[in-house]
Amino acid sequence: MPLALLVLALSAFAIGTTEFVIMGLLPDVARNLDISIPAAGWLISGYALGVAIGAPLMAAATARLRRKTALLVLMAIFIAGNILCALAANYGFLMVARIVTALCHGAFFGIGSVAAAGLVPPNRKASAVALMFTGLTLANVLGVPLGTALGQAAGWRTPFWAVAVIGVLAFVGLARVMPAGHDESPPQLLAELRALKNWGVAMALLTTMFFSAAMFALFTYIAPILEQITGLAPHGVTWTLFLIGVGLTLGNFIGGRSADRHLGNTLIGAFIGMALTALALFWSSRAWLPAELTLLLWAIVTFAAVPALQINVMTFGSNAPNLISTLNIGAFNLGNALGAWVGGSVIDHHLGLRAVTPAAALLAVIALCTTLQSLRLARRALPQAASPLAP
C-alpha cells in the first residue's frame, strides 16, 4: 500500500479522535464552563449536525480543486477548528469551534476515500478505503481513551492541542507524499449534481443511512445495557468498549478484503450478521461472557460493511465521485442521529433497554432491503462483468 494511504489513515485518526473524545470529557467541560451535562452533550450533536450540513457545502466549495489541494484545505480548517476549541473561553465559542471543525469532516472522508481508491489497482480499492478508515477505528480504540486520560490529567483543552499537532503532521504528510494528480480532471459541480438524479445513488445513500442507524441504535445505549442488564461495573464497561473497538478494527480489515472480492455479498452478509447478533444480544446480555462474545461478533460484522458502503456509492456515482462520497459521510451522520433517536424512543416508551436490540436488528434488515434493491439496479444499469455488485 502506498505511503499516502498511511497519511490518510493518520488524518482519519485525528478527525475521529476530535469527534468522539468530547464524550469522555463532558463532566470536565461542564464544570469548567459552568454549564449542565445535557448542555455539554449538545457539543456532540452540534458536531454531528456540522458534519451533515458541512458535507455538501464543503464539497461545493472545493468542487474545482484537485483532490490533493482540497484535502490540504480541509485539513487546514480542521487544525484551525481544534485550536479554536482549545482556546474557547465560553460555551458559545466552543460550540462554534466544534462546528467549524466538523465542516471538514464529511468532505475529507469523502474526497479522501476517492483519493485512496485511486492510489491502488481496481482489485484493491476496498482494501485501500478500509486502510484509511482504520484511522477512524483506531481513534475509538486508542485516541478517545488516551485523549480522555490526557484531558483528565492536564485539562480538557489539552487533547485538542494534541489533535491539532497530529493534524499538522498529517498536513505535512499530505503535502509531501500525496500524488499531485496532474492528470486528474477537476470535477465540475453542475455535472456532479446531475449525477444525483441516479436512483441507484439514492438507494446507496439510504443503505448507508440505515446501516449507521442500525449501528448507533445499539451503540449509543451500550453502556447502560451493560451496567443495568449485564451488571458490569463502570471499569468493566470501559474494557468492553475497548473490546468493541478491537472488533471494529478487525471488521474493517476483513470487510475491505471481502469487498475487493465481492462487494454485494459483503454487504448482504454484514447486514444479516448485524441483525442476528443484535437479536442474540437480547438474550445474551443477561450474562457477561455471552454478552462480551456477542458484542465482539457484532462489532466485527458491523464494521465489515464500512469500506463496502463507500465503494458502493462510488460505483453508482462514478460520474461524481467526490460529491457522492462526501454525501455518503453525511448519510452516515444522519443515520447516527436516527439510530440514537430510535433507541431513545424505544426506551422512552417503557419497552426497556433490552428492546433496543431488536430495534437495531430491524434497522439492519431495512438496510439489507435497500442493498437488495441496489443489486437489482446494478444488474439493470451495469454490464454483468463490469458491476462489482452483480452476483
Residue 385's pLDDT band, with cuts at 50, 70 and 90, is very low
| Predicted confidence (pLDDT) at residue 311 exceeds the cutoff of 90 | no
Q: Is residue 174 domain-shared with residue 248, that is, in the same domain?
A: no
Q: Is residue 249 domain-shared with residue 377, that is, in the same domain?
A: yes
Mean pLDDT across 224-247:
82
Highest mean pLDDT among 68-72, 240-244, 352-356: 68-72
Q: How many structural domains comprise the chain?
A: 2
Q: Is residue 178 domain-shared with residue 203, that is, in the same domain?
A: no
Mean pLDDT across 85-108:
91
Q: Is residue 386 part of a domain?
A: no
Q: Is residue 165 domain-shared with residue 197, that is, in the same domain?
A: no
Q: Is residue 182 domain-shared with residue 208, that is, in the same domain?
A: no
Q: What is the 3-state secondary structure (H, E, C) of the chain?
A: CCHHHHHHHHHHHHHHHHHHHHHHHHHHHHHHHCCCHHHHHHHHHHHHHHHHHHHHHHHHHCCCCCHHHHHHHHHHHHHHHHHHHHHCCCHHHHHHHHHHHHHHHHHHHHHHHHHHHHCCCHHHHHHHHHHHHHHHHHHHHHHHHHHHHHHHHHCCCHHHHHHHHHHHHHHHHHHHHCCCCCCCCCCCHHHHHHHCCCHHHHHHHHHHHHHHHHHHHHHCCHHHHHHHHHCCCHHHHHHHHHHHHHHHHHHHHHHHHHHHHCHHHHHHHHHHHHHHHHHHHHHHCCCHHHHHHHHHHHHHHHHCCHHHHHHHHHHHCCCCHHHHHHHHHHHHHHHHHHHHHHHHHHHHCCCCHHHHHHHHHHHHHHHHHHHHHHHHHHHHHCCCCCCCCCC
Task: For the chain, give the percent of residues with pLDDT over 90.
Answer: 30
CATH number at residue 348: 1.20.1250.20
Q: Is residue 317 domain-shared with residue 370, that is, in the same domain?
A: yes
Q: Is residue 220 domain-shared with residue 341, that is, in the same domain?
A: yes
Q: Is residue 356 part of a domain?
A: yes
Q: Is residue 31 part of a domain?
A: yes
The confidence score (pLDDT) of residue 381 equals: 59
| Predicted confidence (pLDDT) at residue 384 exceeds the cutoff of 50 | no
| Predicted confidence (pLDDT) at residue 103 exceeds the cutoff of 90 | no
Q: Is residue 78 part of a domain?
A: yes
Task: Report which of 136, 148, 46, 156 is spatially closest to residue 97, judged by C-alpha positions.
Answer: 46
| Predicted confidence (pLDDT) at residue 137 exceeds the cutoff of 50 | yes
Among 147, 165, 186, which residue terminates a domain?
A: 186
Mean pLDDT across 93-105:
91
Q: Is residue 157 domain-shared with residue 306, that is, in the same domain?
A: no
Tens digits of residue pLDDT in 17-71 = 998 788 767 778 888 998 876 677 778 778 878 888 887 788 778 877 888 889 9
* Least reliable range by pLDDT among 180-189, 213-222, 303-312: 180-189
Among 134, 165, 186, which residue terminates a domain?
A: 186
| Predicted confidence (pLDDT) at residue 390 exceeds the cutoff of 50 | no
Domain assignment of residue 262, given as a range: 192-381
Among 186, 218, 234, which residue terminates a domain?
A: 186
| Predicted confidence (pLDDT) at residue 181 exceeds the cutoff of 80 | no
Q: Is residue 287 domain-shared with residue 205, that is, in the same domain?
A: yes
Q: Is residue 178 domain-shared with residue 222, that is, in the same domain?
A: no
* Least reliable range by pLDDT among 23-27, 218-222, 275-279: 23-27
Q: Is residue 249 part of a domain?
A: yes
Q: Is residue 387 part of a domain?
A: no
Q: Is residue 389 part of a domain?
A: no
Q: Is residue 62 part of a domain?
A: yes
Task: Report which of 201, 205, 218 is spatially closest to residue 364, judged by C-alpha positions.
Answer: 218
Q: Is residue 217 domain-shared with residue 158, that is, in the same domain?
A: no
- Residue with the bigger pLDDT between 188 and 40: it is 40
**Residue 272 grid coordinates:** 444479516
Mean pLDDT of the chain: 83
Q: Is residue 214 domain-shared with residue 160, that is, in the same domain?
A: no
- Residue with the bigger pLDDT between 40 and 354: it is 354
Mean pLDDT across 267-278:
95
The confidence score (pLDDT) of residue 162 equals: 95
| Predicted confidence (pLDDT) at residue 391 exceeds the cutoff of 50 | no
| Predicted confidence (pLDDT) at residue 125 exceeds the cutoff of 70 | yes
